Amino acid sequence: MSDQPKLVLNLSEAAELLGIKPSQLYEHTRARARARQRIPIPYLRLGGRRLAFRRESLERWIVQLESEAAEVRS
């Protein structure tokens, strides 16, 4: 197996990457929660129900959140 990180993560793997519980991450993907988010978490639906997260997209999302937080503090 390759030493490279996985490109697409499942819910549990993405939650671990972000340091939160899978249930918290799932809640972030719900339509009502996404409507309240200035920068919605990026995810894909595979097969209609299964959630998937691109590692690169999550990393970019974190950078966007950090940038927004820095602007608010300024």
Q: How many CA atoms lie within 13 A of 43 on its CB side?
A: 23
Domain ranges of the chain: 8-73
Radius of gyration of the chain (CA): 13
pTM: 0.82
- Name the β-bridge partners of 9: 53
pLDDT tens for residues 11-40? 999 999 999 999 999 999 998 888 888 889
Residue 10 pLDDT > 90, yes or no? yes
Q: CA 69, CA 73: separation in Å to the nearest integer?
A: 6
Query: What is the mean predicted confidence (pLDDT) over 60-66?
Result: 93
Contact 18, 58 (CB under 8 A): yes
Two tokens, residue 7: 């490109």
Helical (H) or strand (E) element with 43? none
